[in-house]
Amino acid sequence: MSAATLAWESERRRGLRHTLALSVAVHSALLAALVLGPGFRSRRVLVPSVVTVDLVAAAPAPAPARPAPPPRPLPRKVVLPARPERTVTPPPVARRAPPPKPAEQDYDDLLEKLRAEAGEPRPEPVDRRPSPPPAPAPGPAPAPAQTLPAQASPVGGATSQAAPEVVAWLRDARIHVRREWVLAAGFRFQALETRVEVDLDATGHVRGEPRITRRSGNPWYDESVVRAIRKADPLPAPPEAGTWPFVFRPEDYGR
């Protein structure tokens, strides 16, 4: 092998090494871009940590040809002071003037009067926040249009593994007891929770007194819970006789 050939071979190997290094570098860069880039992240499938069971779906399956049902309406009051998340629909900005009012009691006029006394022109109203969404529909009953946190299943415990007849009974028991649960207006917006165990015979009759396992801190609220169970006696016949846990909350606000 001549010296020229050796030099060429050495040059060729050096070139190969450079090509190989370049190739590794380019592939590494592509792989890194693929793994760390936004496109990859956006394709990630988010798996919810909690799988909830829709009790409505536990009913007999609907005919496949039917169109999809409209979305379920949101529960009425969902934002509670105990869960201070800013999930609020604001009253929208009104650009029109309010209806005329008697001058002597009108707040507008009072403010105007004060401005005039102070020798100040009235500034145009400025809202420094983003435009709010539309107003709630007018009517005597409040209809908050607020965004909900993810809703918990209406039944708790090991429902996802429960047999269909158990799920159906949980639903029936919930509806039956709820119908007998009366609560004073002042309790409704409070984050109260009472847990109670109820001993049921095979026909749904309550045996003995319901046993409160976790008090809400408000004895009158706890009393309303026990009263509801006593009033609901007999409940729908459970899948099996024994002790069944119940939890009572004033509003379903997504716990």
Partner 1 sequence: MKGLRRIFWPALLLLAVAAGADDRPTVVVTDPSARAYRVALQTFADRGPAKDATRVKRLREALAGALEFSGLFDVIDPKAFLGPVESAAFDERLVCSDWSQIRADVLVQGEIHSVGEGLTVEYRVVDVARACRSLRRHRYRGRTRDTVTMARRVADDVVAAFTGKPGVASTEIAFVSNRSGSPEIYLMDALGGNLRAITTTGSIDQFPSWHPDGDEIVYTSYREDGRPHIFVLARVGRSGRILRALAPTQSQYRAVFAPDGKRLAVAATAGGASEIFTALRTGRSLRRLTRNRSIDISPSWSPDGEQIAFVSDRSGSPQIYVMRANGTGVRRITFNGSYNASPAWSPDGRWIAYEARVAGGQFDIWLVDPEGETNLPLVSHPRSDEGPSWSPDGRKLVFSSARRGSHDLYRVDVSGRNLRRITRGPGDDKSPSWGPYPR
Kindly identify the residues of this chain, within the stretch 103-142, that bind partner 1 according to CB under 8 A: 104-105, 107, 110-111, 114-115, 117-120, 123-129, 132, 134-142
Considering the complex, state which of residue 2 and residue 161 has its C-beta at the smaller distance from partner 1.
Answer: 161
Contact between 63 and partner 1 (CB under 8 A)?
no
Considering the complex, state which of residue 36 and residue 184 has its C-beta at the smaller distance from partner 1.
Answer: 184
Residues 6 or more apart in contact with residue 154 via CB below 8 angstroms: 55, 171, 174, 252
Least Å from the CB of residue 51 to partner 1 = 14
* Separation of alpha carbons 179 and 168, rounded Å: 17
Element (H, E) at 211: strand 211-214
Least Å from the CB of residue 47 to partner 1 = 22
Contact between 184 and partner 1 (CB under 8 A)?
yes
Among 41, 43, 66, 86, binds partner 1 (CB under 8 A): 86
**x/- letters, 220..249, toward partner 1 (CB under 8 A):** x--xx-xxx-xx----------xxxxxxxx
Considering the complex, state which of residue 30 and residue 88 has its C-beta at the smaller distance from partner 1.
Answer: 88
**Interacting positions 192-221 with partner 1 (CB under 8 A):** 195, 197, 218-220
Q: Which long-range contacts (CB under 8 A, 24 or more apart) does 209-218 make?
A: 210/246, 213/245, 216/192, 217/192, 218/187, 218/190, 218/192
Cβ atoms of 129 and 202 closer than 8 Å: no
Residue of 177, 182, 184, 188 whose CA lies nearest to 246: 177
Residue the block writes with tokens 């007998």 = 180
Least Å from the CB of residue 27 to partner 1 = 51
First to last CA, the chain: 82
Residue of 217, 231, 226, 225 whose CA lies nearest to 249: 225
**x/- letters, 159..178, toward partner 1 (CB under 8 A):** x--x---xx--x--xx--xx
